Amino acid sequence: SYTFENFVVGPSNQFCHAAALAIAEAQGELYNPLFIYSGVGLGKTHLIHAIANYTLDQSKGQIKYLSSESFTNELIQSIRTDSMSKFREKYRQVDLLMIDDVQFLSGKEATQEEFFHTFNTLRENGKQIILTSDRPPGSLSSITDRLKSRFEGGLIADIQYPDLETRIAILLLKASLLKIELSMEVAEYIATAFSNNIRELEGALKRVHAYLSFTQEELSLKNVRKILLQNERQTNLKPSADIVLKTVASFYNTTYEALISPKRSSDLTLPRHIAIYLLHDLYKLSFPRIGEMLSNRTHSSAIYAYQQIKKKLIKDHTLSEQINSLKGLLERRK
């Protein structure tokens, strides 16, 4: 199912899609390596598999696709069994090498050394290398400078969080593949409620599809809202949503009751926004459900709060430290 044809293109991924397609058509000739980075569930896997599938269809040569952890594990096994020559032959004679999650090379000096030489051999021979990560090369920690410079020597493309219109288009495509007739009203509701990544959208759609298949109920906005909210109430969150709210309230020297109240006060704005961020980002609660928990606030106000925290985290190190501290507290309360 991972092809260029069923990849929904929008402003958030347009450049990365164009780069991937160009490289699929002219491997080793344009940009080498192609370095794709993004958050979880935004389409990296789809794009690199689309390149691989295109290559297979065109019979353009041998492909190797694996995670950086698998590369490390194979390297360790080869060292233990004294079969390094076979390992090198396996990875240095391919036409297309795709390594997923290169951030996990961090701190693995022997793996980095071996990959550095594999990288050089392939590029010198005009073979294509494609890498993915959750961050740009310059932000990778405990990776040697010479390897990072290799990563930066080709084309770096990122995938941003999809906007509402792109999320709706993705949902409608996924629904058509499942043979579900999804109205624009329902698609917009799901796309608004689940804005974190594409996997969340797919998960919500599959829950709706499964429920309606069993019950034969109408695919109405009312029923979809009921299904998704009911599913969240039944989810066994560790820790529970209430514990998240109480932990945030205590951390910012306020009360649980004040945090969830309809009261509007400047000293409650930040704790409330952070609670919304944690509930959605860590525990995958939808924005309508979060709004319901906070004195029936609208889902749009919950989305606004979440986006405000996400933007601030890019530059506000103090806020980042506070959220990391909260995550640590919540981890201990599991």
What pLDDT, on a 0 to 100 scale, did the predictor assign at position 236? Answer: 44
pLDDT of residue 36: 95
pLDDT at residue 151 tops 90: yes
Report the pLDDT value the prediction gives residue 237, as an integer from 0 to 100. 42
What is the chain's mean pLDDT, rounded?
A: 88
- Asked if the model's pLDDT at residue 323 lies above 80, the reply is yes
Tens digit of each residue's pLDDT (9 = 90 or more) over 152-211: 999 999 998 888 889 899 999 999 988 888 899 999 888 877 776 788 888 889 988 888
Q: What is the per-residue pLDDT across 56-87, written as a single tens digit (0 to 9) for each?
A: 998 778 999 999 999 999 999 999 999 999 99
Residue 27 region by backbone torsions, left for phi larger than 0, else alpha for psi between -120 and 50, else beta: beta
Q: What are the structural domains, with CATH classification, of the chain? A: 14-159 (3.40.50.300), 164-234 (1.10.8.60), 241-332 (1.10.1750.10)
Mean pLDDT of 82-100: 95
Percent of the chain residues topping a pLDDT of 70:
95
Q: What's the pLDDT at 232?
A: 55
pLDDT at position 209? 86
